[in-house]
Amino acid sequence: MKKTLLAVAIPTLLIANTANAYELINEEGKFVDFYGQLRTQLEKKEDKDVTLNAGSSRAGVNAKYAVNDDLDVVGTVEFGIGFKEGSYDMANRLHFAGFATQVGTFTFGRQWVSTEDVWGADYSYFFGGTGIGGISEFVSGARHDSAIKYKYEGESFWVNSTYGLSEDDTNQELAELYAGTSFGALSLHAGGGSNRDKSFDAGALTMDVQNTYFEGTAEYSFGAATIGLTYINGKLEDKGSDLSVDTDNVMLAAQYSLNSQASVYGGYELTNYDASTGDSEDYTVVYVGTVYKLNSWSRVYAEYGFADGGTLGYSNENADLVVAPTKFDGESNFAVGYRVYW
C-alpha cells in the first residue's frame, strides 16, 4: 500500500517502513538502522495457474549523522529480492546520499521519483494505482539512477521535486514538482512533470518519446473512514512523428478501519486513451480487499481485482506488479499476501 497523503504530510527524514527497524547505532548525533520487509504472495490470475513468490521483499540501511545543529548528512542503500524467469534475484533498489537542513532535504543518486513518493488515491496492496503507475511506467520504472531530489516537509505544507540527469541520453530526462497542504481532515496535493526517453524501446523500433503529466488528489478522513480522489492527465508524444496519445485517469478509493487491527478497502479506476490516429480505448479496474495486522510488525491481506478494456501498460513498484500493454475482457484476479516488517 502506498503512503496516504496524510502520511506524506508528516515530517519524515528518511524513507518509509522504518518504524520497526533495528537500530545499529543510536547515540547523540549518530543514527543508523537496518530495516526491511519479508513478503510472501500468492496470486491467481484468470486462465493462469496459482503462483507463490517473494512479493518484492527488500532490506536496507538508513544513516543520519549530525554535522552541526543545522546540518545532517543522510544516506540510504536498499536491496530487493524479485522472482523472474523461474529464479530469485537480488538487485539494488536504492542508493543515494545527501544532506538535511532547516529549509529541506537534498538527496543525490538512485532513488524513487517524486511521482512514486507522492502517489495518489490508491489504498490497495496489489491491483490499484493504474493512473500513477501509468506515469511511473514511463518515468524510468518509477526510479531514476541519477536523480537530484529536494523535499521540504512542514507542519501543514510540503514540497517534493526531482530532477533527473540524462547523462548523454543514457538516462531519461526528468523534471517533476509536487506540493501539498492540509486543512484539518482534508489533504490536497497537485503537481506533475515531464520526462523524455530518446531511446524508448518500442519493440521493432526505437523512438524518441516525451511524457508530460499533471496530477491532483484530495483526501478526506472522518472517523474510521478515509476517502480519496485523484485525477491525472497526460500526453505521450513521439518526437519523430505526429503520433501522440492523450490519457485521462480517475482513481476513487476508500478505506475503513474495523478496529485497531483490521480494515477493509476498495477502489474504482478508469483510464481513457485517445490517440492522434482517432483510436480510443477505456480501461477499468475495480478492487476490494481486507488487511489484518497481527501485530506492529506483521500483517496479512487478501484482495480481488477486476480488469476490463485496453491499457498501454502500468506498474506498481510497491506491489511488484507490472502490466504490459494488454487487452482485458472482464478478467478477475486474486492475491493473498503476508508481510513481516523490521
Between residues 191 and 313, which one has the greater pLDDT? 191
Average pLDDT over residues 17-24: 66
95-124 per-position pLDDT tens digit: 999 999 999 999 999 999 999 999 999 999
pLDDT above 70: percentage of residues in the chain: 88
- Residue 205: its pLDDT value, please? 74
In the chain, the number of structural domains is: 1
**How does residue 16 score in pLDDT terms, banded at 50, 70 and 90?**
very low
What's the pLDDT score for residue 12?
33
**Closest by CA position to 124, among listed 8, 285, 258, 284:** 285
Mean pLDDT is lowest, of 18-27, 60-69, 173-182, 253-262, for 18-27
pLDDT score recorded for residue 78: 97
Is the confidence at residue 325, as pLDDT, over 60? yes
* pLDDT averaged over every residue in the chain: 88
Residue 20 — pLDDT band, cuts 50, 70, 90?
low
- The predicted model scores a pTM of 0.88
**pLDDT for 142:** 85
* Residue 78: CATH number of its domain: 2.40.160.10
Q: Which domain range does residue 99 map to? A: 5-341
Q: Is a pLDDT exceeding 80 seen at residue 88?
A: no
The pLDDT score that the predictor gives to residue 338 is 95
CA distances from 264 to 2, 41, 115, 124, 226 (A): 15, 19, 25, 10, 11
Window from 12-21, 159-168, 227-236, 294-303 with minimum mean pLDDT: 12-21
Question: For 30-66, what is each residue's pLDDT tens digit?
Answer: 999 999 999 999 999 988 999 988 778 999 999 999 9
Name residue, grid cell 481513457.
Answer: 272
Give the pLDDT confidence score for residue 85 in this predicted structure: 61
Residue 316 confidence class, pLDDT cut points 50, 70, 90: confident
> What's the confidence (pLDDT) of residue 19?
52
